[in-house]
Structure 1
């Protein structure tokens, strides 16, 4: 099971229940996606439908489809450049080319992506490898078929003036970390020889304001998020990537219900969705700035996000894909990758068999040459 939370922390996150699937999806059109209050997100979570039914009666021009099949992709958070592969695919018509009519469902504090997939509200969701593992531990019938970012975005960020350039420099300092990331850092510090008791932990969540104000000397971060925001505010920062120390938590896993792969018709729909998203990722990696602009114009501007941070963030996310290693199959999961996740799970106390939560055959079918 999962590692026991540090007793110094009082917050508690309850695992989602998978005992009561919700029937009947009512697709949410993109015109509603600008509504990001907790109430609207709760409404989006309540809408749903078990089957992917027939969509538009008229075929999209030139795609050769008699009709489009309705599908939904659930994000873990609000639409931004982290999900540029799916958004570029939607905006460029790649789903329509696969005879699909896609709804992008935003996540948020009131939405649990894994529960949305299990309930049938979404045909596919985007999760981290750790979130997928925890869902499976809680008996969710889910499996990953592809991973967008196989190089971890997790970093320790600090202002350059603090002089924190390696993990050992955190001893005697204050470190801001979220409850979610806490259990990653105790074994991480142990593995790199940092005295856990010599680091003062502060629950800052994800807001870099605590770093700027001096409340903390460093904080856990996502390389395409807090460091980008800080740089755009005029701060010089240092980043320590956890992947440099073999702590490589994947991000952007394409997750589906296992039974979606067991029915031939449903499997082909999932494969078509996967092909569209990989095409979107290939386009985004070829020109991250253009991808960032597409995301900003379509979604992020309505969410109050800054265009400059979206454009720079797209560059960072593109650098975390396998594009430097592969000419194709950017989302393909291989045995070496599964082994890397098993090592991460073992190090962080996640009691799961990595080979059981990633379907290499389905990944090969979707993304192999």
Structure 2
């Protein structure tokens, strides 16, 4: 599959007030029970529950519907939204057919006995980063010693990412001052000088640059492999209805391919039909899609060899082992028990 990558100039000013893939809205109850009702034209009705709220960065899913890729695959897909941990529970319980949570929450849930299967590694990397103002003079994890660093929660993936960064420099959390600041205030805390650095979404780098902040970033993936949003399904569905899972994956692949080749059109449609609060920000969002999602999140050496959504099991294993090492789960487990290669679905 040929991929089209373009380099894009700078970022405009109206950027990302709400644009965090991990932003959470109150959890949905999961809607109607999953299970194969018939939709228009004999299509099979399925529901996917998506992490957070509707944002244009979910354009590949929206384009798979709007461009008819789901319908051609025999699916009538509905979208609902919830928090990542609730999504995993709903998929495991069969309340929804598919989920699109953050990969880190999937690992944590699996390690605690809430079993789903990752059927499409949509984001090949995590979106965490250490962000700091230039005057803090933080260019590597070693420079964090004695600094004040904020995370949203001591149980969050970002806190684990901070620990991994510190470990790479032979430091521990005892060598820094850690503050917990909520999602809505953590970026302002950095802007206002309340902290020296934050570990949060790498997308906020663009928002800070747009606001005139001289900001630096260190991507968490350099120190701890992790994953952003991935598609999960229940073990029973993977075993008993692999055809539907494969059809969903194939249509999503087409949605990614369409968005990669037509980012402006995809973003415009996503904003108009699904995320109207981003109206007026289409140009800036398109730039981020082209510079971040197309180049590093949806694509990797693995996808260039095997296709969109293919898992790098070695990276998954490192992410699983890290959660065990940092006591987020009691013990490690085999990545192959969690992730499914799309090619294995038939």
Same fold (TM > 0.5): yes
State how far apart, in whole Å, the 1-side matches of 2:305 and 2:257 are: 9
Partner of 2:297: 321
Cα deviation for residue 132 of structure 1 reads 1.0
Return the TM-score normalized by structure 2: 0.81
| Residue 177 of structure 1, aligned match among 139, 145, 151 | 151
Deviations 1:173-227 (A, max 9, x none): 2111011132342343123223422311111233411111111111012212x11
Higher relative contact order (CA 8 A, sep 6+): 2
Task: Give the whole-Å Cα distance in 1 for the aligned partners of 2:159 and 2:312.
Answer: 29
Unaligned runs of 5+ in 1: 1-35, 60-66
Q: Describe the superposition over 1:309-368 as per-residue Cα deviations: whole angstroms up to 9, x where unpaired.
A: 5323323122223635206512112443444434433443342314244343x52235x9
RMSD over aligned CA atoms reads: 2.7
Following the alignment from structure 2 to structure 1, what is the Cα–Cα distance between the partners of residues 225 and 106?
Answer: 15
Aligned to 2:33: 49
Query: Kindly tell me: are residues 119 and 317 of structure 1, through their superposed partners in 2, closer, same or farther at Cα, counting changes over 3 Å?
Result: same
For residues 134 and 229 of structure 1, what CA distance do their matches in structure 2 show? 29
- Structure 1 residues 294, 340: CA separation in 2 closer, same or farther (over 3 Å shift)? farther
Cα deviation digits, residues 238-293 of structure 1 (max 9, x gap) = 11012223x11111221110000221xx2211111111111111222234344333
1:37/1:107 CA distance change after superposition, 3 Å: closer
Instruction: Give 1:233-272 correspondences, 5 Å limit.
Output: 233-245=211-223, 247-263=224-240, 266-272=241-247
The residue aligned with 2:76 is: 101
Give the corresponding residue for 1:282. 257
Alignment of 1:1-369 (within 5 A): 41=26, 44-45=28-29, 47-56=31-40, 59=41, 67-108=42-83, 112-179=86-153, 180=156, 181-206=158-183, 207-224=186-203, 226-245=204-223, 247-263=224-240, 266-302=241-277, 306-315=281-290, 316-321=292-297, 323-325=299-301, 326=304, 329-349=307-327, 350=329, 351-360=331-340, 362-365=341-344
The answer to whether the 8 Å contact 2:161/2:220 transfers is no
SS of alignment partner, residue 272 of structure 1:
helix
Give the secondary structure class of the aligned counterpart of 1:284: helix
Cα pair distance change 1:287/1:223, threshold 3 Å = farther
Q: Is the Cα–Cα contact under 8 Å of residues 34 and 46 in structure 2 kept in the other structure?
A: no
Structure 1 pair 240/323, CA: closer, same or farther in 2 (3 Å)? Answer: same
Larger deviation, residues 314-323 vs 115-124: 314-323
Asked if structure 1 preserves the Cα contact closer than 8 Å seen for 2:124 and 2:300, the reply is no
Can you give the 5+ residue segments of structure 2 that lack an aligned partner in the other structure?
1-22
Q: 1:209 to 1:345 in 2, by over 3 A?
A: same
Q: Is the 8 A contact 1:142 1:256 kept in 2?
A: yes
